[in-house]
């Protein structure tokens, strides 16, 4: 297997083909971030006597700019891995790489693939990609709507000309209609695909999970391959990361926050609602709070003394 690191930018893709893992012999090439660029890359790789079935391309998940290249490569029969940028950065530090250029980044990605053999990325189904695009558009419109409402609130509190107030009202009305129409399109899209519809019904059977949370979770679950709930939680950055070393470092466990922040924000609001209406969450929360209270009383919370000692 030959490994090719691909550093992704909006306009171009810097590629590093690792020809020999031991000596580090490599070839580099920069191509445009387009379908024609991928065609040219495959032709260049073929000149190096490397066929698509023995090529493993490793790239970072950088917004949306990697998606076109990943899909085109997967359709061509190339093994593709999309890795976490933070992990690659730490890997580069382990190799004592201090220089930060596109060419160096692509070489680090190639070495990362050769040494760690990251799992193969599976392209999501077309209906999942469409759902993801619809949800992203809805989120953008919702943000625009909130900004306009904030401007309207400021306008109402100041001496603002009537024309500006009317412009704000027209803009808000337009965005509200856009949001309603887009939500209808999302609902119809989910209803057209039995797999999406079934999973959406299961998600919404959980107290505190409504259409917004369910839709976002649906797009994540159908765009990635998770074998367990633990893997999904890790992807979303919801797993605790401990910070402890000997007796000098004893930090509290915190969320890793390694995944998409937008989904965590949606889940946060659902969690707040779940503390009131989800009996399982309420029971778990009460048990957790009781444990914290008891540790505080016993002086096991890291404060150096029990509650009664500190107040006595």
Q: How far apart are CA 213 and CA 287, in angstroms?
A: 26
The SS3 of residue 210 is coil
- Strand partners for 29: 15
Q: How far apart are CA 73 and CA 216, in angstroms?
A: 27
Could you tell me the end-to-end alpha-carbon distance of the chain, in angstroms, rounded to an integer?
A: 69
- Which CATH architecture is the domain 2-116 placed in? 2-Layer Sandwich (3.30)
DSSP symbol at 193: S
Q: How far apart are CA 116 and CA 259, in angstroms?
A: 20
Q: How far apart are CA 258 and CA 253, in angstroms?
A: 14
DSSP symbol at 27: E
4 phi and psi angles, rounded to 5 deg = -125, 120
CB contact at 8 A, 256 and 241: yes
Q: How far apart are CA 30 and CA 103, in angstroms?
A: 9
- Worst-scoring range by mean pLDDT, 92-96, 217-221, 295-299? 295-299
DSSP symbol at 253: E
240-276: string of b/e by CB count within 10 Å (b at 16+)?
A: eeeeeeeeeeeeeeeeeebbeeebeebbeebbeebee
Among 16-20, 282-286, 295-299, top mean pLDDT goes to 16-20
Query: What integer is the mean pLDDT of 117-126?
Result: 92
Q: What are 39's two structure tokens?
A: 């065609």
Q: pLDDT-based confidence at 6, cuts 50/70/90? A: very high
Query: What integer is the mean pLDDT of 37-53?
Result: 95
The count of C-alpha atoms lying within 13 angstroms of the C-alpha of 99, restricted to the half-sphere facing its C-beta, is 8
Domain regions of the chain by residue span: 2-116, 126-224, 225-259
Q: pLDDT-based confidence at 282, cuts 50/70/90? A: confident
Pairing of strands 2-8, 55-60: parallel
Cβ contacts of 118-123, under 8 Å, gap ≥ 24: 118/58, 118/81, 118/83, 119/81, 120/79, 120/80, 120/81, 121/70, 121/74, 121/80, 121/81, 121/82, 122/74, 122/225, 123/70, 123/71, 123/74, 123/75
| pLDDT tens-digit readout, 157-169 | 999 999 999 999 9
| Nearest one of 265, 264, 244 to 253, comparing CA atoms | 244
Q: Residues, the chain, total?
A: 312
| pLDDT tens-digit readout, 196-207 | 999 999 999 999
Residue 280 or 75, more confident: 75
Residue 48 or 63, more confident: 48
| Environment class of 102 (CB within 10 Å of its CB; exposed 0-12, middle 13-18, buried 19+) | middle
Q: What is the pLDDT of residue 292?
A: 63
CB contact at 8 A, 132 and 148: no
Q: How far apart are CA 232 and CA 239, in angstroms?
A: 10
Residue 141 or 93, more confident: 141
Percent of the chain with pLDDT over 90: 61
- CB proximity list for 307: less than 8 A, separation 6 or greater: 296, 297, 299
DSSP symbol at 64: T
| pLDDT tens-digit readout, 89-112 | 889 989 888 888 888 999 999 999
Q: What is the pLDDT of residue 161?
A: 94
């Amino acid at each position: 297997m030959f490994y090719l690191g691909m550093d992704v930018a909006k306009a171009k893709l810097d590629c590093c083909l690792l020809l020999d893992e031991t000596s580090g012999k490599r070839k580099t090439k920069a191509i445009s971030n387009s379908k024609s660029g991928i065609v040219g890359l495959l032709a260049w790789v073929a000149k190096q006597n490397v066929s698509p079935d023995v090529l493993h391309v490793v790239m970072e998940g950088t917004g949306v700019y990697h998606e076109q290249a990943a899909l085109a490569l997967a359709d061509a029969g190339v093994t593709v891995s999309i890795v976490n940028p933070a992990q690659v950065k730490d890997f580069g530090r382990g190799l004592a790489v201090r220089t930060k250029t596109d060419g160096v980044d692509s070489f680090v990605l190639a070495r990362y693939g050769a040494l760690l053999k990251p799992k193969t990325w599976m392209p999501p189904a077309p209906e999942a990609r469409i759902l993801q695009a619809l949800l992203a558009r809805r989120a953008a419109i919702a943000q625009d709507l909130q900004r306009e409402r904030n401007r309207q609130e400021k306008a109402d509190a100041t001496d603002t000309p009537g024309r500006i107030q009317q412009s704000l009202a027209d803009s808000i009305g337009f965005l509200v209609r856009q949001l309603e129409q887009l939500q209808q399109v999302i609902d119809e899209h989910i209803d057209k695909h039995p797999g999406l519809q079934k999973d959406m019904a299961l998600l919404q059977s959980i107290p505190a999970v409504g259409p917004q949370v369910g839709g976002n979770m649906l797009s994540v679950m159908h765009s990635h391959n998770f074998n367990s709930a633990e893997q999904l939680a890790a992807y979303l950055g919801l797993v605790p990361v401990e910070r402890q070393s000997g007796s000098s470092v004893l930090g509290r466990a915190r969320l890793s926050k390694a995944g998409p922040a937008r989904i965590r924000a949606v889940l946060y609001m659902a969690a707040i609602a779940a503390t009131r209406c989800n009996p399982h969450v309420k029971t778990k929360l009460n048990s957790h709070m009781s444990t914290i209270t008891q540790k505080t009383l016993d002086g096991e919370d890291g404060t150096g003394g029990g509650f009664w000692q500190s107040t006595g």
